[in-house]
Amino acid sequence: MNQVNTPLKEAVVAKLRRLPRYTSYPTALEFGELDDKTYDLWLHELPAGEAVSLYFHIPYCEKLCWFCGCFMSVSNKYGPVETFLDVLISEVRQMAEKTGRLNVSHIHFGGGSPSILKPDDFKKLIDVVKDCFDISLAEEFAVEIDPRTVDRDKIMSYAKAGVNRASLGIQDFNLKTQEAINRIQSIELIEDNMRNFKDAGIEKINFDLIYGLPYQTLETIEDTIQKTLEFKPSRIALFGYAHVPHMKKHQQLIANHSLPNQKERQAQFELASKILQENGYKSIGLDHFALGDDPLFETFDQGNLRRNFQGYTKDKSDTLIGFGPSAISSMPNGYAQNVASIKQYLDKINLDTSPVVRGLKISREDKMFREIISTLMCYFEVDPLQISKTHQFEYDFKNEILSLNKLIDAGYMEMNGEAFKITEVGRPFLRAIATIFDQYFDQSSDIIDRCIHESEG
């Protein structure tokens, strides 16, 4: 084993961009201009009778969290949200005119904060969705919740609409950290939320937690995990804080000196992961944990786990239709993304034009590499030749195997039969390792340098 720990030279770092999280492949970084006609053709070519998934992006929040990396806009008045909602409803109708009334398997509301919508407005939107799509057999209907903006009435309205999973943004229970990220929410508030969800019959609960936040230590992380365990959420996402102040200016409000270094971050993740697994949670992929009664647990064991824009999922559908600004649709023939600016989005829909501006056609080769990368991101191992066979796409993987062998020499990977498997030591480098198969990634840097780059954040 030949592990490398020398720091990277600046010239090498300059070559490496942020490593993708591979919630899609090719990643959104590769999208170019896409005209409406191509998009409409892809919609027209959707396989008849197959269920699709729907994603709704609600881009508004009441307050700014300084750590936030999401696409959102703060509005302390409800007027802009109401205006937006009417336009979103028009987009749903516009889409259904093109596709007809499709069957739906999964529904996800993300943001921003979907919980900003008033109960009557949520109902108004869902009534139109039900009119335009058949959601009667949808397996999962999930909503992302900012616990500070939800109340009993809203939660009851979710249950009435058919919501069966709620994803609560917890982040961290430590007050000093909460103050440093401008996101103060007491444990009593979470207890109140959980009671309301239980009363409403919404039993599948996710907690979003983050490590690597200001002032977090092993002690505070342990405390947050212990408090989390008392609530028994069926699923936990444990994200590493992505600090990108050059892209998200408000993150400059977070002092650099308050942030744990890379070694501390790694230790925080490992401690949290260990405690969760000791308490019955299965570690799933990069950053998810699930209890035995969560569908992700079984899906993982059956080898059916998939990765999409929301992270890990059991959703089998090959089509996801995205609504709202910046939302991405994924279809068998390609990806299409709505314009990100809320103003431009409103203008486009009001003019009855398509909000799609960017995207990418997917080739047969892309589909094969997508499955390879997704398998690696879900299971930490992959047999690329087997996948090329099932895709009937001949490819020798010569360069990829050279890089994989370097990782074997470094102790980051090993062989498991014909499959290349990431070792315990190599697990923190999952994203860097996945770049080996990314045909759009600049492959001129050495794979070991990419791993060091990932470990240096």
Taking the complex as a whole, how short is the minimal distance between the CB of residue 442 and ligand SF4, in angstroms? 31
Binding flag, residue 172, ligand SAM (CB under 6 A):
no
Question: Of the two residues 65 and 286, which places its CB atom closer to ligand SF4 in the complex?
Answer: 65
Question: Of the two residues 178 and 354, which places its CB atom closer to ligand SF4 in the complex?
Answer: 178
Taking the complex as a whole, how short is the minimal distance between the CB of residue 371 and ligand SAM, in angstroms? 26
Which residues, 6 or more positions from 142, have their beta carbon under 8 angstroms from its beta carbon?
A: 106, 107, 108, 109, 163, 164, 165, 166, 167, 204, 206, 310
The conformation of residue 221, written as its DSSP 8-state character, comes to H
- Helix (H, G, I), strand (E, B), or coil: what is residue 166? strand
Binding flag, residue 311, ligand SAM (CB under 6 A):
no
Stretch that binds ligand SAM, among 22-30, 236-244, 268-276, 373-381 (CB under 6 A): 236-244
* Helices and strands: H and E segment counts in the chain: 16, 20
DSSP secondary structure, 258-324, as one string: GS--HHHHHHHHHHHHHHHHHTTPEEETTTEEE-TTSHHHHHHHTT--EEETTEEE----S-EEEES
Question: Of the two residues 111 and 384, which places its CB atom closer to ligand SAM in the complex?
Answer: 111
Residue 153's identity, in one-letter code, is D
Distances (CA, A) of 287 to 114, 248, 430: 23, 22, 11
**Could you tell me if 249 and 197 are in contact, meaning their C-beta atoms sit under 8 angstroms apart?**
no
The Cα 90–Cα 349 span in angstroms is 7
Binding flag, residue 180, ligand SF4 (CB under 6 A):
no
Total Cβ atoms within 10 A of residue 182: 15
Binding flag, residue 68, ligand SF4 (CB under 6 A):
yes
Distances (CA, A) of 13 to 18, 241, 321, 436: 10, 20, 36, 17
What binding mask, one character per residue, do residues 89-118 give for ligand SAM by CB under 6 A, x or -? ---------------------xxxx-----
Binding-site size, ligand SAM (CB under 6 A) = 18
Binding flag, residue 311, ligand SF4 (CB under 6 A):
no
Taking the complex as a whole, how short is the minimal distance between the CB of residue 79 and ligand SAM, in angstroms? 20
Q: Which of 8, 65, 205, 342 binds ligand SF4 (CB under 6 A)?
A: 65
Q: Which does 64 bind (CB under 5 to 8 A by kind): ligand SAM, ligand SF4, none?
A: ligand SF4
Binding flag, residue 325, ligand SAM (CB under 6 A):
no
Binding flag, residue 67, ligand SAM (CB under 6 A):
yes
Taking the complex as a whole, how short is the minimal distance between the CB of residue 71 and ligand SF4, in angstroms? 8
Stretch that binds ligand SF4, among 61-69, 197-205, 259-267, 271-279 (CB under 6 A): 61-69
Taking the complex as a whole, how short is the minimal distance between the CB of residue 33 and ligand SAM, in angstroms? 27
Which residues, 6 or more positions from 247, have their beta carbon under 8 angstroms from its beta carbon?
A: none
Question: Rule CB under 6 A: which of 91-130 touch ligand SF4?
Answer: 111-113
Helix (H) or strand (E) holding 414: strand 413-416
Binding flag, residue 146, ligand SAM (CB under 6 A):
yes
Binding flag, residue 70, ligand SF4 (CB under 6 A):
yes
Distances (CA, A) of 302 to 52, 127, 279, 369: 22, 35, 22, 22
The HSE-up count of residue 375 (CA atoms within 13 Å, CB side) is: 20
Stretch that binds ligand SF4, among 49-57, 68-76, 92-100, 417-425 (CB under 6 A): 68-76
What are the phi and psi torsion angles at 451 (to 5°)?
Answer: -65, -40
Nearest-5° angle of CA 13, CA 20, CA 251?
75
Total Cβ atoms within 10 A of residue 254: 19
Binding flag, residue 168, ligand SF4 (CB under 6 A):
no
Question: Of the two residues 271 and 419, which places its CB atom closer to ligand SAM in the complex?
Answer: 271
Which residues lie near ligand SF4 (CB under 6 A)?
61, 64-65, 68, 70, 72, 111-113, 146, 169
Interface positions with ligand SAM (CB under 6 A): 61, 67-70, 110-113, 144, 146, 169, 171, 208, 210, 239, 241-242
